Structure 1
């Protein structure tokens, strides 16, 4: 049964939440009095539709239905979850919670607040047990972190249910142990932001130079290893204790102004804005968002190969999303979107990636016939010995494609597959591949007969495909 999320507030964060839910198969009901809310969410959703599917090697669920409503009561009436993303005004949030709980008393409510504690949010609520903080990061449809912050008054079962729900969306709910203003991540970000303001104020660096210092050095380290694990390595063989002993005393040196903030005078604001315009003003906000999304996709896909950090989350979510193949003529061995990092200077998928997608299709077929990971662990496998690929039309990033596979030879040691890469939008054949595999022993690295059950499955599919 399709679940429904109500989004209260359709700005940048609310729109990102709407996209995350929709693209994971939820229906989404939005309330936002802004007459431009539909356009704004539509533009966010356009970016999300292009970006999120590129992280995965299988299709996302069918998209849910998006509707806009004239009142909070109408939006939350039959909702399974409410995500509040209105402005950071406590009185406004209190009014929203009151309206939500008057219309749907049992529904759990998450707040996107970056600063308020759940206890502050729960003040005066009819049922404080259903309210908690679920603070995401922009773009919500790509970045997985959600700070999940309950108060002592929050129902533990509601928190556990929320954690499971967020995980099912491919997100990482970080349960914050104690209530604190600005939670965890924003407190860290605020420290860097404050120091950056001083560097601009004191004419030490421009906005672009500060951004370069982050993206060419520790930003890359943090993106895959965080802070403490990075510094553990910096401590050498003796680890974190040695690092603290070596660098701890520098914390008392006057390097930082983190306890003070420069006055945001008109002069400083103009300097920051002018430098920022010089740095990025030639790109529209939508162009910057697309650039950001492409960079994030490429980095997170690289981390997938290492099964690390956000890559591990995506791999786990993909396992939950991927549906097993069913016997058909032909088999649908791949159903996915072409990622941005598979394209070349001509703007289309390069020839090496055709080999990748047909290899992935073969892996899916092998798993379907029982020659997957467990079979390989037993010491048996199929090796590709010959392929012939024909490139028939351009394939572009963001296109949804399917691979249709027929087993054309399935006797003895041989397994031959005929693959066709099909564009989902119009059924055009983009490429074809004839692939011959030979069954081998991983101990001798020589050909041998497949196991009886695998041989039977291959022969059965070959017969089906010959007649289909």
Structure 2
């Protein structure tokens, strides 16, 4: 579906970065208008959108908003008309950017935010001669924009607190992390750090110390793994031992006089060095096309980010916060009709949920159905607060039927029917759908437990009352096909099922 009445963004410049911005906005429900003078831009952006649709929804454990409408416009004024956020991603030429800003500001509203993807220019340079200088800010992302959340924000003195707050809230709404610089500086923060590593890598190749593959190995098998979760200073804090950062800095007090402290110049990129680096890079990665490397990169990023998400750490904490913000599912029974199975899940199948056959692997079905059980328990009041008070439900028995193939990127929905709520036992039946196609079912028997004694006990009266309410409503529903089935044999409609549901 396409979002109606959605917020509007305009993308000026449809290269890799502009296409990434378009994908992030559109998949977060914004309508996106794109302007680029290159006739090949539409093809490039559609390729980027394809990769984003396969990977980005899998970052979240809830359904994203309906995708926004994407349109291409030859006329820049038409593209920016009515846009709330305008992202400029044209080549790094200051004269070109000034020309583009003049055209944008003559057509856009005064309240629109104009963000520049510039990796090096300061906002004071970008806004020089502009009709409304405070409207233009640096909003520097990282490729792929639809997966990496960081956006460096550099504002000018005329930006104003109200616009700054809109920048912050807008980027958070699309799942990004705005990092506001305290003051403007050439190349901002991240690119200055990257430039230092890049400079030393060029020296290592130029001096014959290592080739491109060995340098990449030093990063991806070494400090890069630490940086992904803790950054630079927190990593070094640990290196200081129990005394922390002070101990480390004291121990390294003489380092300004060591040889590596003076490595500040760049090697000359001679034809010979260029050919050395290019040939080594071809030997390292040439067996993969650029498109294949982009797909590999996206799949790996999704896995890394979802791992951090499980730990609620670093970029994973941002994803969890975004889940909570965009989750439109009802939080209690009062918001639901009990005349049918309750909605307990809606999400995209992440890339890392696929097995060697290219479809969702077995244990991910259990995870999806387990999440649905958790959602059902939350609806009836057995939520985190309830569990913190010392009671919960433990799953005692599970039966899953795999009815159809589900591939990565598929949008799945789960609904839940309560079959039994008697004493300490509860029995639920989940159905998983892809559109109108039933792809899997799961039946769970759960037991209410005292977390102190770890023994089964009856639920308290208020929880029992809510369960009884759902059970009474669902008692009028047809018994779901597949309930009571056992492994290796088809469902048999036996007379004893009339006396009560069987465990799966």
Shorter chain as denominator, the TM-score bin is over 0.9
Cα displacement string for residues 95-118 of structure 1 (whole angstroms, at most 9, x for unaligned residues): 111111111241221111000001
Moved more, 394-403 or 377-386: 394-403
Question: 1:236-385 to 2 correspondence within 5 Å?
Answer: 236-255=241-260, 258-325=263-330, 326-328=336-338, 329-385=340-396
Structure 1 residue 337, shift from structure 2 partner:
1.5
CA–CA distance in 1 between the matches of 2:247 and 2:453?
48
* The one of 436, 450, 468 aligned to 2:445: 436
Contact 1:303 1:309 in 2 (8 A): yes
CA–CA distance in 1 between the matches of 2:37 and 2:263?
39
Cα displacement string for residues 294-323 of structure 1 (whole angstroms, at most 9, x for unaligned residues): 111111111111110000000000011112
Cα displacement string for residues 363-403 of structure 1 (whole angstroms, at most 9, x for unaligned residues): 00001111111111122211111111222333332222122
Contact 1:191 1:258 in 2 (8 A): no
Cα displacement string for residues 326-374 of structure 1 (whole angstroms, at most 9, x for unaligned residues): 3352222111112222233333333222221111010000011111111
Structure 1 residue 256, shift from structure 2 partner:
5.8
Contact 2:255 2:261 in 1 (8 A): no
Question: 1:144-163 to 2 correspondence within 5 Å?
Answer: 144-163=149-168
Structure 1 residue 257, shift from structure 2 partner:
6.0
1:172 counterpart residue number:
177
Moved more, 227-236 or 331-340: 331-340
2:19 counterpart residue number:
15
2:202 counterpart residue number:
197
Moved more, 408-417 or 200-209: 408-417
1:34 counterpart residue number:
38
| TM-score of the two chains, using structure 1 as the length reference | 0.97
How large is the Cα RMSD of the aligned pairs? 1.4
Cα displacement string for residues 385-429 of structure 1 (whole angstroms, at most 9, x for unaligned residues): 1111222333332222122211111233222111122223xx333
Moved more, 250-259 or 405-414: 250-259
1:49 counterpart residue number:
53
Which runs of 5 or more residues in structure 1 are unaligned? none
1:83 aligns with 2:68: no
2:66 counterpart residue number:
62
Q: Secondary structure at the match of 1:255?
A: helix
* The one of 428, 441, 444 aligned to 1:417: 428
1:71 counterpart residue number:
75
Contact 2:81 2:109 in 1 (8 A): no
Q: 1:449 to 1:50 in 2, by over 3 A?
A: same
CA–CA distance in 2 between the matches of 1:295 and 1:365?
32
| TM-score of the two chains, using structure 2 as the length reference | 0.90
Q: Secondary structure at the match of 1:129?
A: helix
Moved more, 266-275 or 435-444: 435-444
CA–CA distance in 2 between the matches of 1:33 and 1:364?
48
Structure 1 residue 254, shift from structure 2 partner:
1.5
CA–CA distance in 1 between the matches of 2:89 and 2:285?
28
CA–CA distance in 1 between the matches of 2:145 and 2:253?
36
CA–CA distance in 2 between the matches of 1:74 and 1:338?
36
Higher Cα Rg, which structure = 2
2:215 counterpart residue number:
210
